[in-house]
Chain A
Amino acid sequence: MVLENNAKGQKYHHHKDAHHHPHADSGTPAIGVQKSGTREIKVVRRVLDVNEKMAAENRKTFAEAGVFVLNVMSSPGSGKTTTLEKTLANIMPEYRSAVIVGDICTTHDADRLAISGAPVVQINTDEFGGDCHLAAHVIDKAASGLDLADIDLLIVENVGNLVCPAEFDIGEDSRVVVLSVTEGEDKPAKYPLMFRECEAALLNKIDLLPYLDYDKDRAVEYIHQVHAGMPVFEISARTEEGFGPWIEWLKNRIRQKI
């Protein structure tokens, strides 16, 4: 079984003939001499370890300041910003909140969220190469513009993308994913990592259900196939239907930390 070989940490040595043979790894010195005139130097480092270290530092900073950090991810157009506008309206002033918004371009989302009265830091990722996600160092920089002592809840609105943000720890306490009933029911199956990495899912735009052929039960089934027991909050950010249980869940999560 391929899997067993890999799991046992066997590796490939490269010979002149360019054929790759697996060899047992036991007792391999740190520097091996290769027949082809190369020598192998063990590295064994996670490619993203710079991000992971920064995320750990962020997490420490947020813990010391008593800030609960929520990383909100979704595909573009799922209603993430409207959901957050309404979430802020329901959670403030009980919990002092701030928002970091990531977008590849424009400050539209930040402008909308600022109406809530919460401090908003906008990050346009094209300064960082048009990134498809927010990385930990970007959050560190954005958070330095906020007075963390005056904040209980920091919401990070990630870049609309169901792939990459799931890969990058930013030092958050919880991750939630927003999907909407105008997307395919099988989104969770197409982007399993996102749905596995998130603690809860918000199924948005349920006010549109009468006009769609969307099979809501099937969507929830897909979510639970990928992430058994995942809480799913059926909401309409437009009408605020279903917001009660979602806000209650969020408050509970915040109280667990601060």
Chain B
Amino acid sequence: MHEMGIALQIVEIATASIPSDLADVRIERVNLKVGKLAAVVPESLRFCFSVASKDTALDGAELIINELPVVARCNECNSKWTITSPVFKCETCNSGSLEILSGRELDIESIEIAEEVKNGSGK
């Protein structure tokens, strides 16, 4: 529901991550990790991102959303499983004492910037 706020944050963080020696570069891709519990709708986020990135170094950049499943570990029997329905109980021993290992992520992993053509000068 707050995808626009998230999109604006992504633009801000991505822009701030451009190395200072690389002025005027264009960001081509933003790689994002989004957990299934993060209350983010990928399609909405992509749309908001396309609006939020207008007239920035991210204008036209592709948002790659890597969705992560909800994974839990049981504090009693230590088994690990993927939660696919809203039942937060151990599949093995039925304990409700568990730790969420993944599924809450909302992280920018990396940005990819267009490499200037330097006639194969190496980097």
- Which residues of A come within 8 Å of B, CB atoms? 1-3, 6-7, 11-12, 14, 20, 31, 33-34, 37-48, 50, 129, 131-133, 161, 163-164, 166-167, 188-190, 192-193, 196, 224-229
Q: With the chains together, A41 CA to B87 CA distance in Å?
A: 38
Contact flag A38-B28 (CB < 8 Å), given A11-B110, A224-B96, A225-B88: yes
Contact flag A163-B64 (CB < 8 Å), given A34-B112, A41-B18, A46-B106: no
Are A38 and B39 interface neighbours, CB within 8 A?
Answer: no
Are A33 and B96 interface neighbours, CB within 8 A?
Answer: no
Contact flag A41-B17 (CB < 8 Å), given A12-B31, A14-B112: yes
Shortest distance from the beta carbon of B80 to any chain A beta carbon, whole Å: 9
| Chain B binding surface SS class | mixed
Are A226 and B102 interface neighbours, CB within 8 A?
Answer: no
Shortest distance from the beta carbon of B32 to any chain A beta carbon, whole Å: 8
Write out the residue numbers on chain A whose beta carbons fall within 8 Å of the beta carbon of B5.
Answer: 129, 131
Apart from A43-B111, A129-B4, what 9 extra A-B contacts exist at CB < 8 Å? Answer: A11-B66, A31-B19, A38-B28, A38-B113, A44-B110, A46-B106, A50-B9, A190-B86, A226-B87
- Residue from A39, A42, A163, A188 with most neighbouring chain B CB atoms (10 Å): A39
Shortest distance from the beta carbon of A226 to any chain B beta carbon, whole Å: 5
Chain B residues bordering chain A, tally (CB within 8 A)? 47
Are A192 and B86 interface neighbours, CB within 8 A?
Answer: yes
Write out the residue numbers on chain B whose beta carbons fall within 8 Å of the beta carbon of A129.
Answer: 4-5
Contact flag A167-B38 (CB < 8 Å), given A6-B69, A34-B115, A42-B110: yes
Q: With the chains together, A48 CA to B40 CA distance in Å?
A: 12
Determine the residue in chain B with the shortest Cβ distance to A189: B86
Write out the residue numbers on chain B whose beta carbons fall within 8 Å of the beta carbon of A1.
Answer: 82
Q: How many A-B contacts if CB must be within 8 Å?
A: 127
- Which residues of B come within 8 Å of A, CB atoms? 1-2, 4-6, 9-10, 13-14, 17-19, 28-29, 31-32, 37-39, 64, 66, 68-69, 71, 82, 86-89, 95-97, 100-102, 106-115, 117, 123
Q: With the chains together, A187 CA to B106 CA distance in Å?
A: 24
Write out the residue numbers on chain A whose beta carbons fall within 8 Å of the beta carbon of B64.
Answer: 12, 14, 20
Are B1 and A161 interface neighbours, CB within 8 A?
Answer: yes
Contact flag A45-B31 (CB < 8 Å), given A38-B114, A225-B88, A225-B89: no
Write out the residue numbers on chain B whose beta carbons fall within 8 Å of the beta carbon of A229.
Answer: 96
Contact flag A163-B1 (CB < 8 Å), given A3-B102, A33-B123: yes
Are B108 and A43 interface neighbours, CB within 8 A?
Answer: yes
